[in-house]
Amino acid sequence: MIYFLRLVCLVFSLTFVAGVGITYAPAPALAQPNAVAVDYKAWEKTAARADEAISAGRASSMALDELRNEISNWRQQFLDAQSANSNAIATVQDQLKSLGPVPEDGNEAADIAAQREELNRRLSQLLAPVKTAELAHSRAEGLIRGIDQIIRDRQTQQLLEFGPSPLNPVHWPAGVKALFDTLTVLQDEFVGAWKNPVLRKEATGNAPKVLIWLLVGLVLVARGRRWSSRLVKRILKDETSCGRWIVAFIVSLGQLFLPYAGTYAMIEAVYASGMVGLRTDILLSALLPAAFIFLLARWLAQRIFPVYELRTPPLNLNAENRYSGRVYGALLGLVVATFFLLKRVSEVSGWSEAATNVVLFPVMVVAGLLLLRLANLLLLHSRARITEDQTEETFRDRIARLLSRALMVLAVVAPSLAAIGYFEAAKSLMLPSLLSLLLIAALLVLHRLVTEVYVLLTGNKEAAAESLIPVLAGFMLVLLSLPVFALLWGARVAQLTELWTRFTEGVYIGGTRISPAIFITLAIVFIIGYLVTRLVQGALKNSVLPKTKMDAGGRNAVVSGVGYLGIFLSALIAITSAGIDLSSLAIVAGALSVGIGFGLQNIVSNFVSGIILLIERPISEGDWIEVGGQHGYVRDISVRSTRIETFDRTDVIVPNADLISGTVTNYTRGNTVGRVIVPVGVAYGTDTRKVESILREVAEAHPMVLAHPAPNVVFVALGASSLDFEIRAILRDVNWVLNVHSDMNHEIVRRFAEEGIEIPFAQSDIWIRNPEALTGSKPAQPAPAAAPASQSTSEQKPFQDSDDGDSDADPDR
């Protein structure tokens, strides 16, 4: 089953990516749109109407929003019209450039002057509609800014408006009367419909249909959630693998959709009865989204505070606290649904502001109490993590702690503002905060789903939480949810559309428009070129170059050169494909090059040195070199530095400029032949010719020593304590010099022992001036004349004691 789920998830992911790539594939940057015919007379009428509405400032916000959308559509037409005739304009400009500037003396051939005049006239004709579109676009921008400013001022004024306090007993009867009147109206609609013979006959005829809808709805609402919960428990009972978790997650959606379908069925039963009046219809239309809000909040509470699945719960809480979280989450959803329903009823029924505040205030107080409870659960989660792990607080725990503090403040501030009389400000704080809390919970659940799908596809369960793909997926979920958060907190769709329009239009730099479509095109083309470069490098390195006679260093140089050339061409083709005119950025690039020349000259020097190393190849990868007192093997040559691995298995990063301008010893350049020198000392009195013969035999017997040239033994010096010899031999592989040195020393010790040749070591005679200090005896009377101190000698015995037999160091020395 796990393999089947992996296959399904993989196919779904590939289908989704392919669909997104096809749907959102950017149009070629160089494609020129057709000329756009704009009705400027109609635009003048719309612009005049907008000017009048802005000047008067009496139109409603809804009417201003509609007018703004109309102007936004005109603005898009003007933006498209600015690209009209672009190919023809570019052609005429190129022709003018080919003619060159007008001579300073004014003496220009008649035919050339005529051609220049005709081209200038044609260019003016082609630029005329573009300039007109630019002027109209600028006017549309100003009108949109004026409308947005009026709407923002109204929203600010409404937010700070001081209204009737719900704690004032004078307003309580108005609230009770509003509720009673609404219920009375609903009752009168039902009674009036029942008294109508036609409607009563229709309801009687539809009784079986009504009963079926009602029965189905009651069964789904009462039992649907329980059925789904039992199936989830059975799936997660034995094992909590990623495959089972995904299946349980899909099944758990029944806790949301089955009761919602039951609510829909009961509403359909009411409509099927034919007893629905105007107010009842409005109430039922608001009841369905309110029911969805409640069911969604309850389902999210089940996922955030799980009952059965405890492998990696979102919050570190015990069973009792998780149960409380589920209850608080469901009640919070009920509060939001009630708030939404009552607000809709108040708008339809025309409740007074005092009555609306009185009715909604208890709902707001209950919401504040529930927020306090949820904030305490978040604090318990943070404290439990710190107590168990005994480590520094993680980013996620810090966010949970900050969120808990914010919920506590909100739970106190919003009801307090409502009690004072700033009910609009309180609603603008409480309702968006509750909906944002639901959205945050949904993001956590979706991120957990993405993580489990990643584990299912890769099998990497241990490091899934810290892997790059789930982290990027979480970041993308948050990024995609930002518009939803903005809408919840009062942003208008027109404002988000305006931001998106600004984003897609881009900015102009040096006469070139830089937009997201250009960046997407540039990135796609560059990635394709980069992948092709890597494929060519791999083919050269593994298939083509090994069959040539080039050495390893030369092959690496060719592969690196192809890589640099391919990346450069990929960047150049990507910039050209994106439609970026580099000639317009020449002045900026020239200024930057001057700054780079002064500030980054070391980096440029290393870059040029890296290119020289790749072309000249004084060193290659795998060479044993010495630079700056460091011995090691060259492991990598890049454009800025070279990495050397020392014999201690540490990496030394050497700037390429040091390798070019400094002194470098390359022990393996061209070949691995090298020399070993083994110093040997023997005691005085040894037969030097015999020693020379033995050393030569030892050198010639080693398999790493070349026979031609033959090894040589040199009697180098008469030392202080020994006769000094050296073996000098050429090795077939200098990388084994230490091993050869050690082998020869072992063999020399063995042969000298067999031949009775002594290897000396440094010795000294020690004279003690006051030996009585060591034995504690009184010092002897000094002799009339002190004997001169003896000089140190070097003999073939460990110590030369003084005449009185003591042989220890002077403690006073």
Supply 60's token pair: 């409603």
pLDDT score of 2: 40
% of the chain residues with pLDDT over 70 = 83
Please tell me whether residue 574 adopts helix, strand or coil conformation.
Answer: helix
Rounded CA separation 3/588 (Å)? 56
pLDDT score of 296: 93
Average pLDDT over residues 655-670: 84
CA distances from 475 to 447, 464, 478, 484, 644 (A): 9, 15, 5, 15, 39
Rounded CA separation 225/258 (Å)? 7
pLDDT at 33 over 50: no
600-669 and 674-755 in the same fold: no
pLDDT score of 670: 73
Kindly report which listed range (356-370, 381-395, 532-546, 776-790) carries the lowest average pLDDT score. 776-790
Rounded CA separation 441/300 (Å)? 6
pLDDT at 103 over 50: yes
Average pLDDT over residues 407-434: 89
Rounded CA separation 336/297 (Å)? 9
Average pLDDT over residues 202-229: 88
End-to-end CA distance of the chain: 87
Comparison of pLDDT for 152 and 324, the residue scoring more: 324
- pLDDT band at residue 9 under the 50/70/90 scheme: very low
Residue whose tokens read 């007893």 = 275
pLDDT at 10 over 60: no
pLDDT at 467 over 60: yes
Which H/E stretch holds residue 231?
A: helix 207-235
Average pLDDT over residues 321-346: 90
Residue 728 per-residue DSSP state: E
Average pLDDT over residues 790-806: 39
pLDDT score of 493: 76
Contact 656, 642 (CB under 8 A): yes
The domain 674-755: what is its CATH number?
3.30.70.100
Contact 194, 280 (CB under 8 A): no
pLDDT score of 96: 83
- pLDDT band at residue 577 under the 50/70/90 scheme: confident
Contact 664, 619 (CB under 8 A): yes
pLDDT score of 309: 59
Rounded CA separation 180/182 (Å)? 5
Comparison of pLDDT for 785 and 739, the residue scoring more: 739
DSSP letters spanning 785-810 = SPPPPPPP---SSS----TTS-----
Q: 183-188: long-range contacts (C-beta < 8 A, 24 or more apart)?
A: 185/279, 185/349, 186/277, 186/279, 186/280, 186/283
Which H/E stretch holds residue 705?
A: none
Rounded CA separation 356/594 (Å)? 69
pLDDT at 511 over 90: no
The amino acid that residue 641 corresponds to is S
Instruction: Convert the pLDDT of each residue in 357-379 to its tens digit.
Output: 899 999 999 999 999 999 998 88
Instruction: Convert the pLDDT of each residue in 71-100 to its tens digit.
Output: 888 888 887 887 777 788 888 888 888 888
Instruction: Tell me the angle at which helices 207-235 and 242-252 cross, rounded to the nearest 10 degrees.
Output: 160
User: Can you give the residue ranges of every domain in the chain?
Assistant: 33-101+110-159, 194-276, 310-505, 511-586, 600-669, 674-755, 763-775+787-813
Rounded CA separation 146/53 (Å)? 10
Average pLDDT over residues 443-452: 88
Task: Give the number of other Cβ atoms within 10 Å of residue 282's Cβ.
Answer: 16
pLDDT score of 727: 94
pLDDT at 6 over 50: no
- Cis upstream peptide for 709 (omega within 30°): yes
What order of strands is seen across the sheet that includes strand 674-682? 674-682, 723-731, 712-718
Q: Which residues of 494-517 are buried (b: 16+ CB within 10 A; e: fewer)?
A: bbeebeeeeeeeeeeeeebbbbeb
Instruction: Tell me the angle at which helices 172-195 and 197-205 cross, rounded to the nearest 10 degrees.
Output: 80
The amino acid that residue 381 corresponds to is H
Rounded CA separation 218/177 (Å)? 32
Comparison of pLDDT for 296 and 472, the residue scoring more: 296
Rounded CA separation 478/472 (Å)? 10
DSSP letters spanning 260-310 = HHHHHHHHHHHHHHT---HHHHHHHHHHHHHHHHHHHHHHHHHHHS-SS--
- pLDDT band at residue 553 under the 50/70/90 scheme: low
Rounded CA separation 295/221 (Å)? 10
pLDDT score of 319: 83
pLDDT at 542 over 80: yes
Rounded CA separation 455/147 (Å)? 50
Supply 309's token pair: 């699945």
Q: 376-383: long-range contacts (C-beta < 8 A, 24 or more apart)?
A: 376/404, 377/315, 377/317, 377/321, 377/324, 377/325, 377/328, 378/315, 378/403, 378/404, 378/407, 379/404, 380/317, 380/321, 381/315, 381/316, 381/317
- pLDDT band at residue 22 under the 50/70/90 scheme: very low
Supply 417's token pair: 């503002």
pLDDT at 35 over 50: no
Query: What is the SS3 string spanning 679-695?
Result: EEEECCCCCHHHHHHHH
CATH 3.40.50.1460 fits 600-669, yes or no: no
> With 0-12 CB in 10 A as exposed, 13-18 as middle and 19+ as buried, what is 707?
exposed
Instruction: Convert the pLDDT of each residue in 707-754 to its tens digit.
Output: 888 999 999 999 888 899 999 999 998 888 899 999 999 999 999 999
CA distances from 514 to 134, 202, 291, 518, 617 (A): 18, 65, 46, 6, 42
pLDDT score of 798: 39
- pLDDT band at residue 118 under the 50/70/90 scheme: confident
Comparison of pLDDT for 387 and 41, the residue scoring more: 41
Rounded CA separation 416/33 (Å)? 58
Contact 125, 29 (CB under 8 A): no
Average pLDDT over residues 319-324: 88
Residue 585 per-residue DSSP state: G
Contact 377, 403 (CB under 8 A): no
pLDDT at 585 over 60: no
pLDDT score of 295: 93
Which H/E stretch holds residue 621?
A: none
Average pLDDT over residues 105-122: 82
Comparison of pLDDT for 310 and 612, the residue scoring more: 612
pLDDT at 694 over 80: yes
Query: What is the SS3 string spanning 329-380?
Result: HHHHHHHHHHHHHHHHHHHHHCCCHHHHHHHHHHHHHHHHHHHHHHHHHHHH
pLDDT score of 20: 35
User: How does the average pLDDT of the chain come out, rounded?
Assistant: 80
Which of 355, 301, 363 minimizes the C-alpha distance to 337? 363
Instruction: Convert the pLDDT of each residue in 250-306 to its tens digit.
Output: 998 999 999 999 999 999 888 888 888 888 888 888 888 999 999 999 999 988 888
Average pLDDT over residues 624-629: 86
Which of 225, 213, 319 minimizes the C-alpha distance to 266? 213
